[in-house]
Structure 1
């Protein structure tokens, strides 16, 4: 077995730190600095794109056919739409999430002068005033507002505080780490994925493990708005494994325990051979797993491929109950994912043809097309079979 032992205490500790740093899309400088310093502690040279996406390369046997792992540091949030005459803020969401989960959230609005605390409330919030009308109010961003915890009785007061249209609003995570292993918090998508990557990297660093090819550790800053890994990949990367949340819900096969391997999302199927390899690594390393298909889901892989990256892509996830709301996961899934990451980066490269951007048919991959039967097993072509 090639999986390495994961420091679960470090995983939980780093996740707590990540959750404590506000990082809605568009306001990620602080968390980028934190992750970059953590990577430097593993003796890696950290590179940042102009806007702050992170790349740290751990060198292996060759730079050809490099493997990349990616998670995103940005989270959902909100933005000031306008200053209301009642002294409150109209909001629009950053990313796709329901105002149902915004109601009652504690928040910070970040201005050029500093942050102000506040709460997102429905337009009719007082039970003593509106009685049943509170429950009859429709759900939507047009029906909530942010109450700023400062003297603000009108739009002028808000402007005097320095609050402007477009200011970013961060939502408190309200994280709880339970003795049972469950973690309940907002923004586990995808702070938990970042923690998984860092825990896997720590295990590899501590073991001084050698990998067959370079491994690119990537952290993106705008996945929640669809940009993701569109500009952080280099030409020598042949495969991209995304670490993000799975959708544990009725009608889905994801689970809060073990690894959930996604075979497709709304952008289409993931790479057949890379996905198969990850499944087989789970089997040979005794890592619990299940497979799922995600319908309303898009990740860093889609942004990379749309931007023109010719890479094999796969998605491995931790099951999340209540995704894009008040989320719940379990440490078992995070540890399992980190173990799979170590097994993957240490595993041999089978598709050596991928070392070159283009090549002839020799060494090209095979997919089974014959009807399955025991008699056919000996008839499968063996020449250049690579997965």
Structure 2
């Protein structure tokens, strides 16, 4: 199995594991088992980030970071009619989850399925369905249970504060497209697993010490704010490349971010990523993302003295039903293999 195939396999596996921000235990367990198989040492931080030591040099370490947490929701209240009002986890417009199947995860470990609907969903009953504002008041979860009251729902063990995950609807087409929710950032996580395997096999031999961190709170802005080893001088986020009008990025290439909402990325790191892309002869773009923030920026805001960069496969329809192509996965992996071998 090639490293690209391995990465894709892991991406598909990870997309099937619910992991809204703060509810990442199952996904982290999966990663731990994978790194055990690869033979690398790791620690789980108090904040539920997974920090993996891939060895090699002693100083001037590089850390590659991806986030395992995804968008999701939480039960806000149980309505008198047995429906659930929700509170968003992460940033997305409500229309992007309308009519989505979901799972409610109780504190006792029970799971119940449901569907996210408008409170007035039927065009045969409500003439203004298309004009109804998509907001917290007009969206609700209808459970796949015979419930008719708040008490009926409480009897199931569902309570405010329970997590809600969205059906990822993951598909790998015969033409190489990966379509799924949560490619942000399970694509990045899978790519780092592929890189770790290449390093384990000595196919890729870094010139410096390498760490990988997988965070649980990126979608709410403070994923990589803590637990950075002292010897780390550079951090590169491996996250999705934003695709859309006004950008060069596409779903077949690796995107190198020069600037996003948090400002410019480190000039030397961006230049080095571009050099790595050219050396590895992959399809790449350099982009400025208008509405974006990354794990590595939370490291800077927390006061860490590091240089920072951001790279990832182009992903279309971000924070919705996303799509990319195996060409973008391969391009990102090859760029990173070259990047870690550079001085």
TM-score band by shorter chain is over 0.9
User: What's the secondary structure of 1:329's corresponding residue?
Assistant: strand
- Indicate whether 1:187 and 2:182 are aligned: yes
* 1:384 equivalent in structure 2: none
Q: 2-side partners of 1:250 and 1:210: how far apart?
A: 38
* Cα distance in 1, alignment partners of residues 40 and 215 from structure 2: 17
Pick aligned residue for 2:122 from 119, 126, 141: 126
Counterpart selection for 1:247 from 242, 249, 267: 242
Measure how far apart 1:232 and its partner are.
Answer: 2.7
2:219 corresponds to 1:219: no
CA distance in 1, matches of 2:2, 2:237: 19
CA contact (8 A) 1:121 1:147 kept: yes
What's the C-alpha RMSD, in Å, of the aligned pairs?
Answer: 1.3
In structure 2, do the counterparts of structure 1 residues 283 and 209 end up closer, same or farther at CA, with 3 Å as the change threshold?
closer
3-state SS, counterpart of residue 207 of structure 1? coil
Residue 153 of structure 2, aligned match among 134, 149, 158:
158
Task: Extract structure 1 runs of 4+ deviating beyond 4 A.
Answer: none
Q: In structure 2, what is the equivalent of residue 110 of structure 1?
A: 105
Residue matched to 2:9: 13
Q: Distance in 1 between matches of 2:253 and 2:116?
A: 35
Aligned to 1:129, the other structure's residue is in SS state coil
* Separation (CA, whole Å) in 2 of partners of 1:325 and 1:74: 15
Shift of 1:208: 5.6
Alignment of 1:49 with 2:39, yes or no, is no
Among 26, 29, 48, the residue aligned to 1:33:
29
Q: Is the 8 A contact 1:80 1:90 kept in 2?
A: yes
> What is the distance in 2 between the residues matched to 1:291 and 1:265?
12
- The DSSP-based 3-state class of the residue aligned with 1:118 is strand
Larger radius of gyration: 1
Query: How far apart are residue 151 of structure 1 and its match?
Result: 2.1
> Take 1:222 and 1:201, find their aligned partners in 2: how far apart are those partners?
22
Following superposition, the deviation at residue 162 of structure 1 comes to 1.2
Question: Is the Cα contact below 8 Å between 1:79 and 1:168 reproduced in 2?
Answer: yes
Question: Are the counterparts in 1 of residues 60 and 208 from structure 2 also a CA contact under 8 Å?
Answer: yes
SS in structure 2 of the partner of residue 260 of structure 1: strand
Normalising to structure 2: TM-score of the pair?
Answer: 0.97
The answer for unaligned runs of 5 or more in structure 2 is none
Query: Is the Cα–Cα contact under 8 Å of residues 176 and 326 in structure 2 kept in the other structure?
Result: yes
What corresponds to 1:196 in structure 2? 191
**1:27 Cα deviation from its structure 2 partner:** 0.7
1:43, distance to aligned residue in structure 2 (A) = 1.0
Distance 1:306 1:6, change over 3 A: farther
CA contact (8 A) 1:211 1:346 kept: yes
State the secondary structure of the residue aligned to 2:248. Answer: coil
Residue aligned with 1:127, SS: coil
- CA distance in 2 between counterparts of 1:188 and 1:232 reads 25
Report what 2:232 is aligned to: 237
